Structure 1
């Protein structure tokens, strides 16, 4: 059983600890960004220096850096020791918001910046790969820009046959999901659906078994290791409630001044849309940053 942790943390005997070497990477990312370095430049530096990411690989992207810069766990919570101060975290959020606002005001219709909102947000529901922008007949009068699954062509063969969408169609899809949310904002007032009693009882039972084995000094028992990982999994699931509340409030703040319905709004998409999943049968699922989904 393995619990996926943000870079900078490690699991030791069922508890989350700071992984100092990777924690230093996280701190440097925050400080570089706040001091004016772009996410793309930071990703380039990490890749060139072969710094491992959370998956122990060195293929850094600006999107991966962005996820680190908005992860609230780095301020610390019941499970995660703090890696950055709240002041530094807030400075990073302020800078991200300023950059997004600037992007929304200055991006031209066909500029590369205008595609930022779609990058790593549109995924294939058939194979799980992200959608990519393909330019067909580049520079010719009949040039077409279409978004296709990354695995549409692999090793010179057609692998994934999921649907294609034009730039305007993608904008319509994403905008319609925003407008649907605007019509049903009352969903943001609903409490997070969880099973606190069941989880609490299960967690207490696991902790009781761990305590009993420790009192018997059975530290090398395979059961103790299994129970430690089980405890970590249960505690980690509970921590998602804090993420839900934080991201729901962020969505409310972003929507409070938005008229209904809205036109294509890149800034808003970047702020609140987590991903759009496209299926071969035409079904499209929009997921927002707090986990709310619309089909």
Structure 2
């Protein structure tokens, strides 16, 4: 095959020529292009409750825009869109703002007038996004303070102005947060909508009519009434809530029973937000400083009554001492005195309490059994691996266990006497708790320092990321261990306060070596809880002993 080799000069390319094609029409008419025709105008106004600029009230702004738009012959007022007293950092909660955008998209508006970019949107992302949308629909936005028309201005200018507005909003937010922080440090308490109180310059004053209802709620709860029954009682008696509604629910009652402010104390900064743009609040579980103020305001119930309610809630909730907590619905928390096993048996699969059921055999004989309440309530698809226990064999096994305890009562009595001697001394308990809390605080400080400075060292290449993660893992492990020790100490002390161990000593002294009759009292004194697992049943006694019993397990 023959190849023809051309000279380099023949291979040279011709230089490109550029021909300019002049525009024949404008894609977007400017504001000035509209001066000779009727312009459909809307106004957007907003008054922030946290703003210093309160010289223009909501009503005044509406009146101003009606007169201003009416003074222009070729302007037609379509609507005045307004959001009153809502944060400007996000458009999500500004319903009239979104209505205005929808009207613009529907072709109802040619121009929107607003005081300034800070009134339109206080973060750059929202501001530019909606300005672009309006520009796409040929809708002009006129900012009075800046004297800028969005269709006339380039995007660089709008970006700069929006950024300035965002910075202004951020500065105000930080200033407000700083103010709250100083108030917390001074122990000032604010709770504008708290039932039973009204805020008064950093403290709380009692509203006696509502306070009577609060005291009744605590009284009924400690008398054995459930949260839902209390709510039903208040609803039936048409007791008004803070907002005027007479419909109460168990969730409201539960939150009231847990609110330390009713005892005259206040835990401040229970929640926090990430930054000024994200208004969602998160539960403070140690990420931020908290402040506990004792006797910060007049109490509606005594501290003794409040503490008793917390102990009662703990008993009813039957929280597991294992890694996962037992989270039970209101119906699973009911107390019953009809059977000694009530509120004692816990499902290891889902953490719910077991409930008594009665099976009917083929010969029509009734047989009581215990099953996971979660499975009973929601069907076999929920907690399918939980097992069923026959009541009689279980009671027999527990009776034998208690008989064994009473036979070795001298050993048990000495062990408990030693434990009582150690924990009955309040000074001892306080010192141990203080030591553990001090250690826990040190660990938290280490964790915070690792999170704050460790990542910076990694970024600079001073330290390896795996070393930071390993150190953090050790800290978290130590933290969990300290928290378990504190909980164990609290549980034992609470048990003492309830007199359970003293009662156990008396019962051991009183019982003979004869077989014990299974009663609610005997089971409550000896057995703390019964954990049902797939292949075994674990019994935990009040003196912190564990043992296993073998029974016939049904699916």
**Alpha-carbon distance, 1:142 to partner:** 1.6
* 1:268 equivalent in structure 2: 522
The verdict on how the C-alpha distance between 1:142 and 1:122 changes in structure 2, with shifts beyond 3 A counting, is: same
The verdict on how the C-alpha distance between 1:255 and 1:209 changes in structure 2, with shifts beyond 3 A counting, is: closer
* 2:540 equivalent in structure 1: 287
**Alpha-carbon distance, 1:136 to partner:** 1.9
The verdict on how the C-alpha distance between 1:157 and 1:207 changes in structure 2, with shifts beyond 3 A counting, is: closer
**Alpha-carbon distance, 1:133 to partner:** 1.4
TM-score (norm 1): 0.52
Q: Does 1:126 align with 2:349?
A: yes
The verdict on how the C-alpha distance between 1:246 and 1:178 changes in structure 2, with shifts beyond 3 A counting, is: farther
CA contact (8 A) 2:221 2:230 kept: no
2:370 alignment partner, one of 139, 147, 156: 147
Q: Distance in 2 between matches of 1:27 and 1:123?
A: 33
What value does the CA root-mean-square deviation take over the aligned residues? 5.4
* 1:277 equivalent in structure 2: 531
* 1:254 equivalent in structure 2: 503
Q: Does 1:31 align with 2:219?
A: yes
**Alpha-carbon distance, 1:285 to partner:** 1.8
Residue 148 of structure 1 aligns to a residue whose secondary structure is: strand
Q: Distance in 2 between matches of 1:75 and 1:173?
A: 48
Q: Distance in 1 between matches of 2:380 and 2:252?
A: 30
Q: Deviations over 1:226-255 (max 9, x none)?
A: x9xx99x96896365244134147233222
Q: Which runs of 5+ in 2 are unaligned?
A: 1-183, 198-210, 236-247, 266-291, 296-300, 312-335, 424-428, 450-474, 549-555
Residue 486 of structure 2 aligns to a residue whose secondary structure is: helix
Q: Distance in 1 between matches of 2:415 and 2:521?
A: 22
**1:207-218 residue pairs with structure 2 within 5 A?**
none
The verdict on how the C-alpha distance between 1:28 and 1:89 changes in structure 2, with shifts beyond 3 A counting, is: farther
**Alpha-carbon distance, 1:170 to partner:** 2.8
CA contact (8 A) 1:122 1:276 kept: yes
* 2:251 equivalent in structure 1: 52
Q: Deviations over 1:20-47 (max 9, x none)?
A: 659978854442367xx5525x641235
Q: Distance in 1 between matches of 2:293 and 2:525?
A: 24
CA contact (8 A) 2:345 2:531 kept: yes
TM-score (norm 2): 0.31
The verdict on how the C-alpha distance between 1:149 and 1:173 changes in structure 2, with shifts beyond 3 A counting, is: farther
The verdict on how the C-alpha distance between 1:201 and 1:85 changes in structure 2, with shifts beyond 3 A counting, is: closer
**Alpha-carbon distance, 1:124 to partner:** 1.8
* 1:244 equivalent in structure 2: 492
The verdict on how the C-alpha distance between 1:148 and 1:236 changes in structure 2, with shifts beyond 3 A counting, is: closer
Q: Distance in 1 between matches of 2:264 and 2:397?
A: 35
**Alpha-carbon distance, 1:287 to partner:** 2.6
CA contact (8 A) 2:504 2:526 kept: no
* 2:68 equivalent in structure 1: none
**1:24-103 residue pairs with structure 2 within 5 A?**
27-32=215-220, 38-40=224-226, 43-46=228-231, 49-52=248-251, 84-86=302-304
Q: Give the paired residue count.
A: 224
Q: Which runs of 5+ in 1 are unaligned?
A: 1-11, 59-64, 69-73, 94-111, 213-226
Residue 396 of structure 2 aligns to a residue whose secondary structure is: helix
The verdict on how the C-alpha distance between 1:149 and 1:75 changes in structure 2, with shifts beyond 3 A counting, is: farther
Q: Distance in 2 between matches of 1:235 and 1:158?
A: 32
**1:113-262 residue pairs with structure 2 within 5 A?**
113-115=337-339, 117-137=340-360, 141-152=364-375, 154-155=378-379, 157=381, 159-182=383-406, 183=408, 185=412, 186-188=414-416, 189-190=418-419, 199=436, 202-203=439-440, 205=442, 238=486, 240-248=488-496, 250-258=499-507, 259=511, 260=513, 262=516
